[in-house]
Amino acid sequence: MAQRAVKQERAVRTREALVQAAAEVFGELGFAGASVSKIADRAGLTLGAMYFHFKSKEELAREIVVTQPARVRPEHESEGLQHAIDITLTWAYGLAEDTVLYAGARLVMEQEQFNAPEENSHRQWTDIIACDLRAAQAGREVRRAVDVEAVARLVVNACTGAQMHSSIESGRADLPQRIEEMWRVVLPSVAVPSAVARLEFGQSRGRRV
Amino acid sequence: MAQRAVKQERAVRTREALVQAAAEVFGELGFAGASVSKIADRAGLTLGAMYFHFKSKEELAREIVVTQPARVRPEHESEGLQHAIDITLTWAYGLAEDTVLYAGARLVMEQEQFNAPEENSHRQWTDIIACDLRAAQAGREVRRAVDVEAVARLVVNACTGAQMHSSIESGRADLPQRIEEMWRVVLPSVAVPSAVARLEFGQSRGRRV
């Protein structure tokens, strides 16, 4: 049994090493430019060892895109509007230091090559933000008449566009500032003034566990 | 002189045929997948004839991206907020039928390969929307305290993200609806209620000259 546990642990480590290597290669070359042999090389593994864990580069790319929300875990506990803000800021700060998040942001632009249309990452993030906004509506932070799905789509679309814009102009250095700016424009339409006054921004909200 | 005019007219037509052919190829294959020979083939021209007009595929891609605003000319005359809305809706409807706009939307994702960072298309569109919003502020449609540049960046970022999202989920069929939805969320924060009440949406605002 002990030997089996060692084997399982090794498999988990190998799998994570492959995801990291794939993230590096996708981040540098994009989906089209990457190949399974480049990824196996980068991980220091044989192709056979790689295929044991991932059948194709499509599968690796999906893994990177799908696990993004799990990698964006704000340090502070929060709920409702503050949680939605914390998630977007944690993502914006995290992109600079996390290879897998960075690769995910790049892969988003090519996702029709490896993701089914109904599993796209926009929808995945929209569901997460909408969930926070519904909690905020139940808690009377967000006005009752607000179309929560529409606001969630706007937030996710604006984050996607801001990431592309900021990547070109500042290598993403000003992305957290752009995300805060977005919330400052959107919030007065969406939230009651007392709730807006309580919300916190700034780098401390963007730290990850 | 008459012969010279004929020659000039022919040059203009050849140039436009090259831009159309390049738009088709970029729209299908992206910037990385396109090549000057594929574009010349599509236009039915020799490489020599092509190089007379455009020195590289970079130059063709820049031409397509830079001339986008000139291709988005709303049918209705308007100013201020209504003009900003008309431009975004005309762009959203136009993407479905204009090969060059469609190629431009795709090339935006690869523009760091052919555009200087300070000439990026996000900034180009942000300047256009900011100009409308400043006019709207001068005309007291937009509140005095509003940061016009921040709103313009949000609008352009949200349009970029909406285009990508809508392209995956509906082949861009729901893009105009997403653009209207974005304005409906943003406007109450930005504009005075009487101005919001006057604004028109819908397909008739999205027609081009």
Average pLDDT over all residues of chain B = 93
A120 touching B, CB under 8 A?
A: yes
A187 min Cα distance to partner chain B (Å): 8
Distance CA A174, CA A195 (A): 26
- pLDDT tens for residues B181-191? 999 999 999 99
Q: Which amino acid, residue A139?
A: G
- How many Cβ pairs within 8 Å bridge chains A and B? 125
- pLDDT of the residue at B120: 86
- B8-38 residue pLDDT tens: 898 899 999 999 999 999 999 999 899 999 9
Band (pLDDT 50/70/90 cuts) for residue B1 is low
- Å between B123 CA and nearest CA of chain A: 8
Q: What is the number of other CB atoms lying within 10 angstroms of the CB of residue A193? A: 8
For residue B208, name the pLDDT band (cuts at 50, 70, 90): confident
Q: Is B13 on the interface with A (CB under 8 A)?
A: no
Determine contact, residues A7/A13, Cβ cutoff 8 Å.
no
Q: What is the pLDDT of residues B67-83, one digit of tens each?
A: 999 999 999 999 999 99
Rounded CA gap, B125 and B135, in Å? 16
Distance from CA of B157 to the nearest CA of A (A): 4
What chain B holds in terms of domains, given with CATH numbers, is 2-65 (1.10.10.60), 68-206 (1.10.357.10)
pLDDT in the model for residue A138: 98
Two structure tokens written together for A172: 């993403």
Record the tokens describing residue A33, joined without a space.
Answer: 């430019």
C-alpha to C-alpha distance for A107 and B141, rounded to whole angstroms: 40
Helix (H, G, I), strand (E, B) or coil at B119: helix
Nearest CA in chain B to A120: B168
Mean pLDDT by 10 residues, chain A (209 residues): 83 93 95 94 94 94 93 94 97 93 91 85 94 98 97 97 92 94 96 97 87
Q: Which of B111, B151, B157 sits opposite A162 (nearest CB)?
A: B157
Euclidean distance between CA atoms A189 and A125, whole angstroms: 21
B156–A157 C-beta distance less than 8 A: no
Share above pLDDT 70 across residues of chain B, in percent, rounded to a whole number = 100
What pLDDT is recorded for position A1? 56
- Residue B128's pLDDT is 96
The whole-number pLDDT of residue A6 equals: 87
Interface residue of A108, A149, A154 to substitute, partner B, most B CBs within 10 Å? A154
Q: Which of residues 145-164 of B touch A (CB under 8 A)?
A: 147, 150-151, 153-154, 156-162, 164
> What ipTM, to 2 d.p.?
0.92
Find the closest chain A residue to B180 by CA distance.
Answer: A150
Contacts 24+ apart (CB under 8 A), A187-191: A187/A81, A187/B189, A188/B188, A188/B189, A189/A146, A189/B185, A189/B186, A189/B187, A189/B188, A189/B189, A190/A133, A190/A142, A190/A143, A190/A146, A190/A151, A190/B185, A191/A81, A191/A136, A191/A141, A191/A142, A191/A143
Please report residues of A whose CB lies closer than 8 A to that of B164. 108-109, 122, 157, 160
Is the distance from CB of A163 to CB of B157 less than 8 angstroms? no
Of A154, A160, A178, the CB nearest to B185: A154
Q: Which of A22-36, A103-117, B40-54, B122-136 has the lowest mean pLDDT?
A: A103-117
